[in-house]
A and B are shown apart, each in its own frame.
Chain A
Amino acid sequence: MSLGISFAFVVYLFIMMSIGIYFYFKTNDLSDYILGGRSLGPGVAALSAGASDMSGWLLLGLPGALYASGMNSIWIAIGLTIGAFLNWQFVASRLRIYTEKAGNSITIPDYLENRFEDSSRALRVISAFVILVFFTIYVSSGLVGGAILFERTFGLSYQTALWIGAVVIVGYTFLGGFMAVTLTDFIQGILMFCALIIVPVIAINLTGGWDKMIFAVNSVNPSHLDAFTGMTAMGIISLMAWGLGYFGQPHILTRFMALKNPKDAPMAQIVGMSWMVIGLLGAIFTGFAGIGFLDAPLDNPETVFIVLTETIFNPWVAGILLAAILSAIMSTIDSQLLVCSSAVAEDFYRSILKKDASQKELVWIGRIAVLILALIATAFASNPQSRVLDLVSYAWGGFGAAFGPVVILSLFWKKMTRNGALAGMITGAVTVIVWKNLSGGIFDVYEILPGFILCTLAIIIGSLAGSGPSESIKNTFDEV
């Protein structure tokens, strides 16, 4: 471990914690804590949505996949780009407007309840339950990623690394809430962006330029240059289907809801999509450059970004670039913890246990929820053999299938009813869980695809079977 790398890490973590403490003193009510009181400008909203979306996967997983198997790994990047684009294009602005019209909703469960005027609390409770289950798993997989990075960089034991990472991440989410999280996300987004441009460009240059790199990759394995090598139609569809997940990710959708002005959505879309496309291309070419630049093959392909950085740059610069990985992991976990805390404070505590809870009380319930959930997630993560990617794809698929079609149709289909939404949500979640546990033939397709389709069908059937939405629901729909 070098002094330069440690110093950069410590400075970086110190800045993140300071932001948390600063916003601790500025948070007055639950809406501030959960949603920052809808005050985000387009740039912060866009980078924050991007950073909380892209976990360590962008700097570890994708470059690693490219390094290990070549260009046939770009399908997932293409699927995600298209999904993110459609989400900005069709969901962002309308969701922002609708959540405000529908009882000034500040969470997805809140929105669903108000959108369908559900007095039974069923929609709110079931959606909050789905959020808690899938995010606890998601958060724990992120903590594992953070632990591995700390372990590698500082030479700590896995357990120590895990606890240090957990304390820092939970610390500033606990204190600062949404504003701290979005501001740190913004800084983290910029750091990730710079790292993903600098590392591949310098590595390709040092290899002797683009042609030399292609030549080097070709000499390792010519099929690495072809996106269709070893791909079946089902494989391509499965990878592209990742894009469907966007419409149902609560931690990303809340960024749309927090936009100060819905008219800022198109500008945010430009910033968000540019960031994403350049980041993904950077990750792709980092993996590619690794094949050409590094002589000995890596034991763990996912360390290609780390090894390239440590090899090319002096430790002071490397420390800053490696902090980008930590950024990617932290910015995803903190957003997810925050959504969980809102599910507990808003959807369970205030709506079921104590209807007249004060704002101060709710902020504290939210904070305590962050703490407890983080403890559970850390306990899950304490097994060093935990498989990160499996859990991520599970949670991503679960949210995409349970919430994706519900969110889209609730925004665009006037005849959708509460029963349709309930049927869809349950069908989507159950399909993902069942499909995941089956294998062979069609069951090898990524579970989000059948989940998404069956959820959509359940919504349509459930909505048309009943007596249709009330007049006031239709009126609100027309106003949006």
Chain B
Amino acid sequence: MDSVSLSMATWLLIAIPMPLTVVLSVINYFVSKKGEN
């Protein structure tokens, strides 16, 4: 059973682009806050 898993490429597709947009949004928020001050 251990050998069965999502393919590595599929995992990377799920794990990188989607959460990355949230991370970038958070960074954008702090950058814009800093710009205001």
Contact = CB atoms under 8 A, between A and B. Distances in A.
A152 B7 CA distance: 36
A24 interface: no
A214 B10 CA distance: 13
Nearest to A225: B6
In terms of DSSP, what is the predominant structure of the interface of chain B? helix
A228 interface: yes
B32 A277 contact: no
Given A78-B17, A82-B21, A277-B21, A226 B9 contact: yes
B2 to A, nearest CB: 8
Contacts of B7: 71, 225-228
B37 to A, nearest CB: 12
Given A78-B13, A225-B10, A266-B29, A277 B22 contact: yes
Contacts of B24: 85, 89
Contacts of A273: 21-22, 25
Of the candidates A85, A215, A226, A274, the one having the most CB atoms from chain B within 10 angstroms of its own CB is A85
Given A263-B32, A270-B29, A77 B18 contact: yes
Interface string A368-404: 0000000000000000000000000000000000000
A74 interface: yes
A107 interface: no
Nearest to A88: B25
Interface string B9-21: 1100110011101
A266 B36 CA distance: 12
Contact of B22 (A77, A214, A215, A274): A274
A86 B14 CA distance: 18
Contact of A85 (B13, B21, B33): B21
A81 B23 CA distance: 13
A266 B18 CA distance: 17
Interface in A271-311: 273-274, 277, 280-281, 284
A78 B17 CA distance: 7
Given A263-B32, A266-B25, A273-B22, A281 B14 contact: yes
Contact of B28 (A89, A226, A263, A284): A89
B21 to A, nearest CB: 4
B25 to A, nearest CB: 5
A267 interface: yes
Contacts of B6: 71, 214, 225-226
Contacts of B26: 270
B19 A277 contact: yes
B25 A227 contact: no
Contacts of A81: 17-18, 21
A342 interface: no
Contact of A228 (B9, B17, B25, B32): B9
A88 B21 CA distance: 10
A332 interface: no
A274 B19 CA distance: 8
Interface in A40-98: 71, 74, 77-78, 81-82, 84-85, 88-89
Contacts of B9: 226-228
B30 to A, nearest CB: 8
B20 to A, nearest CB: 9
A76 to B, nearest CB: 12
B1 to A, nearest CB: 5
A218 B4 contact: yes
21 contacts: A71-B7, A71-B10, A74-B14, A78-B18, A81-B18, A85-B21, A85-B25, A88-B25, A89-B24, A226-B7, A227-B10, A227-B13, A228-B9, A263-B36, A266-B25, A266-B28, A266-B33, A269-B28, A273-B22, A277-B21, A284-B14
Interface of A: 71, 74, 77-78, 81-82, 84-85, 88-89, 211, 214-215, 218, 222, 225-228, 263, 266-267, 269-270, 273-274, 277, 280-281, 284
Given A89-B25, A226-B10, A267-B29, 6 more contacts: A74-B10, A78-B13, A82-B17, A88-B25, A227-B7, A227-B9
